[in-house]
Amino acid sequence: MSIRTRLAPSPTWYVHIGNLRTALYSYLWARHNQGQFIIRIEDTDRTRLVEDAVDKIIGTLTEVGLRPDEWPHHDGGFGPYTQSERTHIYGPMLHKLCEEGSAYYCFCTSERLTELREEQEMLKLPPGYDGHCRHLPLEEARERIANGEKYTIRLKVPKNEILIFNDLIRGRIEFNTNQIDDTILLKSDGIYPTYHGAVVIDDDLMKISHVMRGEEWISSMPIQILTARALKIKLPEYAHLPSVLGNDGKKLSKRTGDAFVSEYIARWYLSEALLNFLSLLGWHPKQDEEIMTMDEMIAKFEITDIHKSGAVLDPIKLDWMNGEYIKRMELGELHTRLAKYLEEYSPEFYANIFSQKDYNYNTRIIIELQTRMKRFDEYVSLTTCLYGDAHIRTDLLANPKMKIETIEQGIDALRFALSILENADYTSLDTLKTPILEAIASAGRKNGQILWPLRVALSGEEFSPGAFELAYILWKDESIKRIQNVINS
Ligand code: GLU
């Protein structure tokens, strides 16, 4: 069987974290099986169309690397992929169900349905259609339609039947049909199907083999099972994915950290890190790996390794993972991507500082921060002492923990450091470091006694990169200037 998965966004969607995870799993499963990943637009709710939404959805997916094989502008032989362009397909199939008796025409007006709902609310009865038109003879219904009366098509749900369905993640799930309404399949405009009227037909015609979607869709299974039975078609396999939860254990919402993916990847995270992170929100690969390339994820992905329980989105872990991707990035690429980021999100810093420094100066800083920076937005705050002038902080020179009891001892250490740094080799961190350590040892001094004041003089800060890293980044002239400024203060 060829494996075909689909993502079925409505044009009200913006791709947020939960949807991206659904897209990712659908993509991984298709690729794992050399199958196809399809985007179908479910736009039958004509009152809730969002302009540009379709382009934005496909744009975001493509940008993060989840390029579909078939989508509205790329027909793989199963198009059109937009439901509003497929209305000629649904109508005849749904009318046939009425002829066959598994669905029926309903002429109840919206006023009657509103009254019914109000009455049910008052009597504290569960809401639902009361079956008013369920037993209308077909002949009579046909006549009323011919006379121009408005109608909908409703599924004729059998009474008191147990439906069994086997979810790939949750296993066997049972439903009693008594809990299900005679759901509308074709709307009163006579043209547009409802979500239920279209989804089963399209999954079948597009030869979808596996549907992955959020667990909130489990409740729609009985309707889809009955619709498929009426249409005499086989349903795909289903994997209902666990919800993505915020730190408070509740389903992720805007307030608890959900966000549009486009914002996430533009402003905070590398898309490859975000995808890797999302892959683990509910999926646990057998080998316990955490950092995986897309190819590794594709190779390892199995639906049976997805768990049932909700997956908590831990922003600290996401930051950590992003940092791991920064660490592993090739230096040239890191430089380019960081510069692009700064240009967009810290334009003043970029224009007045970053792009004013020579390429190698910036590169030395990037090398130093590559192992410490978790996100690009930290770059500006972590580098103030490297791009600006250092403060003169003689108060920080003494440090009893380093056995520097007085400021004078600190100044003395700086004179010693200066004599070495004036003749040091700044070609690399190593050529700089080794002779300094040797000089300290042969003078019979302790590393901390020299390196602490040196670091303070070079950075002017309580916390900063180490003394060697600072000297290497600043290079000879700037290092010497900063040390002299402190000595002469
Ligand atoms: N169009 C539905 C949605 O907006 C898709 C549900 C499904 O995947 O069956 O989420």
Does ligand 1 have an atom closer than 6 angstroms to the CB of 213? yes
Average pLDDT over residues 52-73: 91
Residue 221 CA to ligand 1 centre (angstroms): 12
Looking up residue 446, the CATH number of its domain turns out to be: 1.10.10.350
Residue 119 shares a structural domain with residue 250: no
Residue pair 271/294 in contact (Cβ under 8 Å)? The answer is: no
What is the 45 CA–ligand 1 centroid distance (Å)? Answer: 12
Neighbours of 237 (CB within 10 A): 16
**Do 206 and 80 form a contact (C-beta atoms < 8 A)?**
no
Please check whether residues 129 and 225 belong to one and the same domain: yes
Higher confidence at residue 389 or residue 428? Answer: 428
When pLDDT is cut at 50, 70 and 90, the band that residue 16 belongs to is confident
Domain boundaries, position 430: 394-487
Q: How far is CA 150 from the centre of its chain?
A: 44
Query: What pLDDT is attached to residue 247?
Result: 78
Residue 8 CB–ligand 1 contact under 6 Å:
yes
Express the helix, strand and coil content of the chain in percent, nearest 5 each: 50, 10, 35
- Whether residue 56 is found in the same domain as residue 120: no
Using the atom order of ligand 1, give the atom closest to the CA of residue 203: 9
Q: How many Å lie between the centroid of ligand 1 and the Cα of residue 18?
A: 12
Same domain, 52 and 143: no
Ligand 1 lined by 387 (C-beta under 6 Å) = no
Q: Which residues contact 32 (CB under 8 A, 6 or more apart)?
A: 3, 298, 299, 301, 302
Looking at the structure, do residues 146 and 237 belong to the same domain, yes or no?
Answer: yes
469 occurs within a structural domain = yes
Whether residues 92 and 74 share a domain: the answer is no
Give the pLDDT score at 248. Answer: 79
Six-digit token pair at 478?
A: 């700037």
Give me ligand 1 centre to Cα 224, in Å.
12
322 is a domain residue: no
Question: For the chain, what is the domain count?
Answer: 4
Atom number, ligand 1, closest to the C-alpha of residue 220: 9
Classify residue 200: in a domain, yes or no. yes
Q: Which residue, of 339, 354, 382, is where some domain finishes?
A: 382
Mean pLDDT within 273-277? 95
298 and 352 in a single domain? The answer is no
Q: Separation of 9 CA from ligand 1 center, angstroms?
A: 6
User: Is 321 domain-assigned?
Assistant: no
State the Cα–Cα distance between residues 180 and 156, nearest whole angstrom: 10
Given a contact cutoff of 8 angstroms between Cβ atoms, the answer to whether 133 and 105 are in contact is yes
- pLDDT tens-digit map of 296-342: 999 999 999 999 998 888 989 999 999 999 999 999 999 999 999 99
Residue 65 clears pLDDT 90, i.e. is over it: yes
Q: Are residues 256 and 340 in the same domain?
A: no
* 274 and 408 inside one domain: no
Q: Cis bond leading into 80, ω under 30°?
A: yes
Structure tokens at 218: 């489990």
Among 15, 210, 215, 217, which residue has the most ligand 1 atoms within 8 Å of its CB, making it the best to mutate? 217
* Statement: residue 252 has pLDDT above 80: no
Q: Is 10 touching ligand 1 by the criterion CB < 6 Å?
A: yes
Are residues 114 and 37 located together in one domain of the fold? Answer: no
| Cα(364)–Cα(361) distance, integer angstroms | 5
Pocket flag, ligand 1, residue 217 (CB < 6 Å): yes
* pLDDT at residue number 370: 97
Q: Work out the angle at residue 299's Cα, subtended by the Cα atoms of residues 75 and 165, and round it to the nearest 5 degrees.
A: 70
Q: Torsions phi, psi of 139, nearest 5? A: -55, -50
Greatest Cα-to-Cα distance within the chain, rounded to the nearest angstrom: 108
Q: Is the pTM value of this prediction over 0.85?
A: yes
Q: Report, as an integer, the average pLDDT of 59-74.
A: 93
Please write the tens of the pLDDT for every residue from 392-411: 999 999 999 988 999 999 99
pLDDT in the model for residue 332: 97
Residue 63 belongs to a domain: yes
**Mean pLDDT (whole number) for 100-106:** 98
> Cβ(42) to ligand 1 under 6 A?
yes
Question: Given this model, what pLDDT does residue 53 score?
Answer: 84
Q: Which atom of ligand 1 is the closest one to the Cα of 13? A: 4
Q: Are residues 147 and 194 in the same domain?
A: yes
Q: Which value, in Å, is the radius of gyration of the alpha carbons in the chain?
A: 32
Is residue 198 within 8 Å of 90, Cβ to Cβ? Answer: yes
pLDDT interval class at 253 (50, 70, 90)? low
Tell me which residue has its CA closest to atom 6 in ligand 1. Answer: 8
236 lies in the same domain as 250: no
Look up the CATH number of the domain holding residue 73.
3.40.50.620
How much is the average pLDDT of 254-264? Answer: 68
Reply yes or no on whether the pLDDT at 220 is more than 80.
yes
- Residue 257 pLDDT > 70: no
357 is catalytic: no
Band (261; pLDDT cuts 50, 70, 90): confident
Least reliable range by pLDDT among 56-70, 102-116, 247-261: 247-261
The ligand 1 atom at the shortest distance from the C-alpha of residue 7 is 8
128-175 confidence digits (pLDDT tens): 999 999 999 999 999 999 999 999 999 999 999 999 999 999 999 999
Alpha carbon 354 to chain centroid distance? 30
Locate the DSSP E strands across 352-428.
Answer: none
Residue 258 has pLDDT above 70, yes or no: no
Measured distance CA(246)–CA(281) in Å, rounded: 11
Q: Which atom of ligand 1 is nearest to the CA of 6?
A: 8
pLDDT for the residue 138 = 97
Ligand 1, residue 213: give the atom nearest the CA.
Answer: 8
The reply to whether 318 falls in a domain is no
Residue 319 within a domain: no
Axis-axis angle for helices 271-279, 315-328 (nearest 10): 130
- How does pLDDT run across 439-477, given as a tens digit for each residue? 999 999 999 999 999 999 999 999 889 999 999 999 999
Q: What percentage of the chain reaches a pLDDT higher than 70?
A: 99
- Residue ending a domain, choose from 221, 241, 261: 241
Asked if residue 199 has its Cβ within 6 Å of ligand 1, the reply is yes
Ligand 1 neighbourhood includes 198 CB (under 6 angstroms): no
Q: Which residues pair with 474 in a beta bridge?
A: none
Domain final position from 196, 222, 241: 241
Name the active-site residue from 124, 254, 286, 401. Answer: 254
Give the pLDDT band (50/70/90) at residue 212.
Answer: very high
CA of 48 to the centre of ligand 1 (A): 14
CA of residue 14 to ligand 1 center, whole Å: 13
Handedness of CA 95, 100, 102, 105 (dihedral sign): positive
Inside any domain, residue 212: yes
Q: Which residue has the higher pLDDT, 18 or 91?
A: 91
